[in-house]
Amino acid sequence: MERQRIILHVDMDAFFAAIEQRDDPSLVGRPVIVGGPGARGVVSTASYEARPFGVHSAMPMAEARRRCPEAVVRPGRLRLYAAVSAELMEELARFTPLLEPLSLDEAFLDMTGSEGLFGEPPEMARAIKDAVQARTRLSCSVGIAANKFLAKLASDLDKPDGITLVPFGREAAFIAPLPLSKLWGVGPAATTELQRLGYRTIGQIAAADLSALEGQLGGRFARHLHALACAHDDRQVVSGRRRKSVGAEMTLERDVQGRAAVEQVLGRQCRRVAQQLRRNDLLAAGLRVKIRFSRGFRTRSRQMDLPTPADDSRSLIDAAGELLDRFELDEPIRLVGAAAFKLLPAAAAGQLDLFEGKQQAARSELEHTVDRIRDRFGDKIEYGER
C-alpha cells in the first residue's frame, strides 16, 4: 500500500488577462480579452469581467466581440507571460523540489511530508497563495488532494482565488456526482461517446463493470478512466521534464495556394523554430511540416529525420522543402507550420567532422551571433534566406 500523498495543484486565475490588468490599471475591473485580434483569431483568455457575457477560451474573436462589445481586446504578449511564469515557478520551487509545471500558469507540487514546515494542507495552500501574490501580484486557485487528478479537479471548483481540499478518505464519494467532463482527459469526443453509452456522471463510470467498459471503449482507455472515476491515480509528480518538440505555426489571414506561397511562410516558421532551438541550447534530429487545408479543415503532416542534428535555419528549411514535395498543394491552405522533434542538448552534439557538418556548424555559429545582436538591439534586424 502506498503512503498517503499530499498533492497540490496551483492554477493562475485568467493568467494572460490578469497580467494585462496588472500592468495597465485602466483595465482593472473591465472586461479584457487576450487573443488573436484578426478575422481568424480566437480567445486565449477572458478576464472574469468578460466571462458573464459568455466569452470563454477558444471562442472565435468575432463572436467574443459580438457578445461583449465593450471588452478591451489585447493580442497577447507571450514573451512577457513566459517571464512571469518563470517567476511563478521559481516561487513555487521554494515550497518543494517536487514541482511539475503543466503549462505557463499551472503546476503540481508534491508536498507529502512537509507538514512540519508548512502546517496542514490548507495552511500550505494559503502560504503558497500569499507567496504567489507577493511575488507576481496575481491570484491563483489551489486544489489539494491525495493525487494529481483530484488536485487538478479541485483547483477548478472554486475559482478565482479559491482553495479546495478533496477530503482524504472520502474522495470517490466527493467526485461521484460530478459530470463526466470533469475527468481529466475526457474531452468533447469522449463525452459524446460516453453519453451515447448512457453515462452521465463520474459515479456511473466508477460503478460500471470494468470488463464491459473495456469492451465499449478499448482496454487501456477504459482502465484509465475507471481508475480516475474511482479516484485512483498513482501518477507521480515529476520535476525536470524535458520538452519533446519545438514548433511554430500560423493560420494565415487569407488562404494561400501553390508551392511558392507555402514555401515562403514555411521558411519563416523554420527560422522561428531554429531560433527557439538555439535559445534553449537544443539540436533537432527530426522535422515535421504541417498543413491545414481550408476545405474541410483537414490537417496533414509529413515528417523526417534530419541528416545531422541541427539548430540552423538552412538545415530546417532544406528538410522542410523535401517534406513539402510529399504534399498535394493544389488547393487553398489556411495554416502552415513546422515543428522540430528528437531534441538533444546542444552540448551533447557529436563532433561534426564531415564537410557538411562544418558548413552547418558555421551557419549555426553565425545565427547564434545574430541572436545575440537581436537580444541586445531588438528584433528589427532581419537575417536569413528571403
User: Which of 39-47, 90-98, 124-132, 162-170 is the region at the interface with DNA (rule: CB under 7 A)?
Assistant: 39-47
Closest alpha carbon to 71 in 3, 132, 20, 126: 20
* Beta carbons of 337 and 261 less than 8 angstroms apart: no
CB 294 to DNA: min, Å: 7
User: Should residue 179 be labelled a site residue for DNA when binding is judged by CB under 7 A?
Assistant: no
Phi-psi region of 142 (alpha: psi -120 to 50; beta: other; left: phi over 0): beta
66 near DNA, judged by CB under 7 A: yes
CA Rg value for the chain: 24
DSSP states along 68-113: -TTPEEE---HHHHHHHHHHHHHHHTTT-S-EEEEETTEEEEE-TT
User: Where in 107-146 is the site for DNA (CB under 7 A)?
Assistant: none
Residue 275 within binding range of DNA, rule CB under 7 A = no
Phi, psi angles (nearest 5°) of residue 55? -85, 130
Does residue 195 belong to the site contacting DNA (CB under 7 A)? no
DSSP 296: G
- Phi then psi for residue 334, to 5 deg, are -110, -20
Among 22, 30, 40, 368, binds DNA (CB under 7 A): 40
Report CA dihedral (74, 79, 82, 84) to the nearest 10 degrees. -70
Q: Which is nearer to DNA, 200 or 298 (CB)?
A: 298
Cα diameter, the chain: 66
Binding segment for DNA (CB under 7 A), chosen from 18-26, 58-66, 89-97, 375-383, is 58-66
Q: How far apart are CA 145 and CA 169, in angstroms?
A: 10
250 interacts with DNA by CB under 7 A: yes
Cα 275 vs. chain centroid, distance in angstroms?
19
Q: Contact region for DNA (CB under 7 A) — 88-96, 98-106, 107-115, 366-374?
A: 98-106
41 lies in the binding site for DNA (CB under 7 A): yes
- Count of CA atoms in the C-beta half-sphere (13 A) of 208: 27
Contact with DNA (CB under 7 A) among 29, 52, 103, 137: 103
Per CB under 7 A, the segment of 40-48, 91-99, 142-150, 346-354 that binds DNA is 40-48
Which of 220, 254, 376, 380 is in the footprint of DNA by CB under 7 A?
Answer: 220
Q: Considering the complex, what minimum distance in angstroms separates the CB of residue 123 from DNA?
A: 25
Query: How far is CA 24 from each of CA 167, 208, 234, rounded to the nearest angstrom?
Result: 39, 51, 43
Using CB under 7 A as the binding rule, whether residue 200 contacts DNA is answered as: no
x/- track of binding to DNA for residues 362-381 (CB under 7 A): --------------------
User: Across the beta sheet with 72-74, what order do the strands follow?
Assistant: 43-46, 32-35, 72-74
> Shortest Cβ distance from residue 130 to DNA (Å)?
22
Q: Which stretch binds DNA (CB under 7 A): 80-88, 92-100, 298-306, 346-354?
A: 298-306
Nearer to DNA, 35 or 121 (CB): 35
One residue of 160, 247, 357, 384 binding DNA per CB under 7 A? 247
CA dist., res. 179 & res. 181, Å (int): 5
The residue to which cell 523540489 is assigned: 97
Q: Any contact of residue 259 with DNA (CB under 7 A)?
A: no
Closest approach, Cβ 67 to DNA, in A, equals 8
Among all residues, which ones are annotated catalytic?
A: 106
Binding site for DNA (CB under 7 A): 35-36, 39-42, 44, 57-58, 60, 62-63, 66, 102-106, 152, 184-191, 218, 220-221, 243-251, 272, 276, 286, 296-305, 326, 334-335, 337, 339
